[in-house]
Structure 1
Amino acid sequence: MNKLLNTAFAYIILGLGSGLFYREFTKATDNLGTHSQLNTLHTHLLVLGMVVFLVVLALDAVFSLSGRRSFSVFYWTYNVGLVVTVAMQAVRGFLTLDGQDPATTSAAIPGIAGLGHMLLTVGLVALFVALRAGIKDRTARTEQAALAV
């Protein structure tokens, strides 16, 4: 459970830092008021990173998820997918603020971002597999305890 708490903490640091960076970077480059993918980077890191891992931490405390193979698949694929996704979001944001059109700059940008989204999806499916097994185990333990009484 400490790993989940530390992961959530890392994402809050990244999320708050990216918000601060966006504000200072747009002021320094005279791009205030220009909307790009950078202005939502902090929200993605805070919600998809910190909030998700805090919710998973609570689920782990109730359903003992962290010892399962599917939970390890969730943890690593979700983290890699989130890092890839926000990295491509940052690249798109920098290109937009530089006056370029990210869609025409390189076809690799949306392709890699799509790969990040696919990894996020695989991670979330693995989380639900772990959650289903955790609920099943907890229900079985509850029924055994009720029969023992």
Structure 2
Amino acid sequence: MKKLFHASFAYMLVGVASGLFYREFTKLNEFPEGEFTQLGLAHTHLLTLGFIVLLIVLALEKVFDISASRKLFNWFFGLYNAGVVLTAGMLMVHGSLTVLGEESNKMIAGIAGLGHMLITAGMIVFFLALRRAVLRHSEAREPAPVH
């Protein structure tokens, strides 16, 4: 549970910092206010997928002990976090290039796509671990048969 708490807290800090970077970087480079850049998406991805989702996972962990399926939980945690970091990183790169008036390329889009695939794989593994934990939890709460 500590790992989930620390990761969620780290995403909160990085998410807020990325919002500050977005605001200041666009001002510094006189980027037109209201014009789209993916820097704003990095901010929301980090806060939503990192901070909020991991807080929800932390609550589910408290109730169902999802990490008892250690192997599945570790796969989820690794895949999911790699995906969020990769996706947010590419959003920052792409958004910064837009603000600087530079062209992005297909490699950046491809790496961002890989990040989304890792997030998806992580969520699938999470639901496998959650299912196992919910079934284990419900079996433990069922009353013993009466003879």
Q: Which residue identity lines up with residue 136 of structure 1 in the other structure? A: L
Task: Report what 1:124 is aligned to.
Answer: 123
Task: Report what 1:48 is aligned to.
Answer: 49
Task: Report what 2:40 is aligned to.
Answer: 39
Offset of 1:31 from its aligned partner? Answer: 1.1
Instruction: Using the TM superposition, name which of 46-55 and 21-30 deviates more.
Output: 21-30
Task: Report what 2:3 is aligned to.
Answer: 3
Residues 21-57 of structure 1: per-residue CA shift (max 9 Å, x gap): 1111111111141320002211110000000000000
Distance in 2 of aligned mates of 1:135 and 1:51: 21
RMSD across aligned positions (CA) = 1.4
Task: Report what 2:17 is aligned to.
Answer: 17
Count of aligned pairs: 144
Distance in 2 of aligned mates of 1:29 and 1:98: 7
Task: Report what 2:75 is aligned to.
Answer: 73
Q: Which residue identity lines up with residue 88 of structure 1 in the other structure? A: M
Q: Which residue identity lines up with residue 84 of structure 2 in the other structure? A: L
Distance in 1 of aligned mates of 2:45 and 2:106: 23
| Matched residue SS, 1:147 | coil
Task: Report what 2:141 is aligned to.
Answer: 142
Distance in 1 of aligned mates of 2:68 and 2:137: 14
* Alignment counterpart, residue 84 of structure 1, candidates 62, 83, 86: 86
Residues 65-119 of structure 1: per-residue CA shift (max 9 Å, x gap): 11311111100100001100011111110111111232xxx22111111111111
With normalisation by structure 2, the TM-score equals 0.93
What percent of counterpart residues are identical? 46
With normalisation by structure 1, the TM-score equals 0.92
Q: Which residue identity lines up with residue 108 of structure 2 in the other structure? A: I
Q: Which residue identity lines up with residue 109 of structure 1 in the other structure? A: I
Distance in 2 of aligned mates of 1:148 and 1:60: 29
